[in-house]
Amino acid sequence: MTQKIHISVGLISTHASLQDNETAHAIYDALPIESKVNRWGEEIYFSIPVQLPESEDAREVMEVGELGYWPAGSAFCIFFGPTPVSHGNEPRAYSNVNPFGQIEEDATQFSEVKDGERIKIQQA
């Protein structure tokens, strides 16, 4: 059974499906998490109380709506468009992230999120 999470920030309330991998399980087990978001181009990220190494499938180029865990900063990342290091319109992380899930609805709605807004992630 696929694990699902609920994400709320500002007026946005959405769900994501998690992959069946170590990163997803560790983050799911640490929920609920509340934090302040940082905005970096068309990505938001925030520190979480999870410490994991880089996974074998870690990468920089992501898909719109994909969730990644950034081991270098112990951060939860939501990609919804190009970042300052992108080539064209691809979402690209600063450095390798562990992919672990996908937003189920339109991820571009996160473009409304402002730096410093409070975000809450919980089990769905």
Please give the average per-residue pLDDT across 112-116, as a whole number: 96
The answer to whether the CB of 99 falls within 8 A of the CB of 57 is yes
1 pLDDT higher than 70: no
Averaged pLDDT, 53-73: 98
pLDDT at 56 over 80: yes
Where do the domains of the chain lie, and which CATH numbers do they carry? 4-123 (2.40.100.20)
Q: Is the pLDDT of residue 121 over 70?
A: yes
**SS3 track for 4-23:** EEEEEECCEEEEEEECCCHH
- Which helix (H) or strand (E) element contains residue 44? strand 43-47
Q: What is the pTM of this model?
A: 0.97
Whether 33 shows a pLDDT value over 90: the answer reads yes
